[in-house]
Amino acid sequence: MNLKTTFVIMAFCLFLLGISFRGRGPGPGVTYVTLSLPDSLPKPAYDFSKNPLTKEGIALGRYLFYDPKLSRDSSVSCGFCHQQVAAFGHFDHALAHGVYGRLGKRSVPTLFNLIWQKDFMWDGGVNHLDVQPMSPIIAENEMDMPLNELVERLKCNEKYQQLFKAAYGTEEVTSQRMFKALVQFMATMISFDSRYDSVKRGAPGVAFTAEEAGGYTTFRQKCAGCHKEPFFTDFSARNNGLPYSPNMNDMGRMRITNNTGDYMKFKVPSLRNVLVSAPYMHDGRFFDIFQVFAMYDHGQEKGNTVDPLVRDMKLSPKEQRQLYMFLNTLTDKHFLKNEAYSEVMIED
């Protein structure tokens, strides 16, 4: 036995392996993409080995994201609710709304830095980024589109035949390929380029003003326990003392766990881009960040699931003003204007 024959046999085995994996991974001739992320960040929770990023996969995902054909009456796309100007939240809308004017029950969460997030939705009910888009697609008051019908619709579409072939090597449309492509596009939505980030990495000539620095001090004292740097969320679900709203009857994570200990617990949202992504809270009840400050200062509900970290919090007018100035440094203008995320023209 010599090295050469061993090599030939190994190559043959790899060839067989290649055949058995055909149709699962990226197609031939794709251009692989590596996300450029700041070195200081932890490893993403999303496992890219099962969905390697490619230029073609991202392009397919972006087309899907902006295509209203993903909804029953072809009126609502993902991008309809998740708008780039609002950090992929819904500008000026308290509640999500869907096909035939149907109204949702919760506000639209922003979309960025999703690959570090382990569960999704306001109540953490969705356990994987791959299966997250299924929720709004199927929900009656959102896109109301049965998955099997959607797959049929895309199969018959020439543009998708081209896009799927480019990304996966064959025209075959499956729900798995569709979801993985949507994730590819959403995975590129990375926001770590705000003024705060420039200050933190010591970019020349950038520093907090006295007001911003004061706000950062207040933030670290009173907010950072839940809105943890660098993501400005710890990804947990907590009760922040927001009063229960009888007409919405939404008890948050308790709906998922059936555990009264989870009464009124909602996912802690990131504060990055917070000033461009009003309205606030799971039901979008506050259109102004100062209403949120006022809630923490004197509008909290008492209750045994209210988080000890925010109980009886006080925010003086000066602290509120300075906090506002600090939160303003978390707006990532490059993210909000990046053309790689902008709406694409859907051709049919």
Q: Which residues bind another protein (CB under 8 A)?
A: 1-2, 5-6, 9, 24, 47, 50-51, 121, 125-131, 134-135, 138-139, 147-148, 151, 174-176, 179-180, 255-258
Q: CB of 124: closest distance to another protein in angstroms?
A: 9
Q: How far is the CB of 15 from another protein (least distance, A)?
A: 14
* Nearer Cβ to another protein (177/227): 177
Strand 237-238 and strand 266-267: the pairing is antiparallel
289: which 2 tokens?
A: 């960040």
Q: Nearest-CA neighbor of 187 among 334, 348, 74, 340?
A: 340
Query: At closest approach, how far in Å is the CB of 155 from another protein?
Result: 12
Is residue 129 within 8 Å of residue 117, measured between CB atoms?
yes
The residues, any chain, with a CB within 8 Å of residue 260's CB and separated by 6 or more, are: 254, 305
Q: How far lies 293's CA from each of 248, 277, 310, in Å? A: 22, 16, 12
The HSE-up count of residue 344 (CA atoms within 13 Å, CB side) is: 17
Of the pair 91, 263, the CB lying nearest another protein is at 263
Q: Following CA atoms 215, 218, 222, 225 in sequence, which dihedral angle do they give, to the nearest 10 degrees?
A: 70
Contact between residue 46 and residue 131 where contact means Cβ atoms under 8 Å apart: no
Nearer to another protein, 176 or 342 (CB): 176
* Contact assessment for residue 252 and residue 265, using Cβ atoms and an 8 Å cutoff: yes
Closest distance to another protein from the beta carbon of 174 (Å)? 6
And the tokens for 334? Answer: 């490059």
Nearest C-alpha neighbor of 345 from the set 103, 135, 99, 66: 66
Q: Which is nearer to another protein, 180 or 272 (CB)?
A: 180
Nearer to another protein, 106 or 272 (CB): 106
Annotation-wise, does 223 bind a ligand? yes
Would the annotation count 226 as a binding residue? yes
Select 33 or 151, whichever has its Cβ closest to another protein: 151
Which one, of 269, 241, 19, lies nearest residue 123 by Cα? 269
Instruction: Report, in Å, the least distance between residue 290 CB and another protein.
Output: 33
Give whichever of 166 and 181 is closer to another protein, judged by the CB atom.
Answer: 181
Q: How far is the CB of 136 from another protein (least distance, A)?
A: 9
Q: How far is the CB of 263 from another protein (least distance, A)?
A: 17
As a whole number of Å, the CA-based R_g of the chain is 23
Which helix or strand (DSSP H or E) is residue 149 part of?
A: helix 147-155
Tell me the CA distances in angstroms from 305 to 139, 161, 191, 237, 244, one per residue in order. 29, 51, 32, 11, 12
Would you list which residues are annotated within the binding site?
A: 78, 81-82, 223, 226-227
Binding-site residue ranges for heme c: 78, 81-82, 223, 226-227
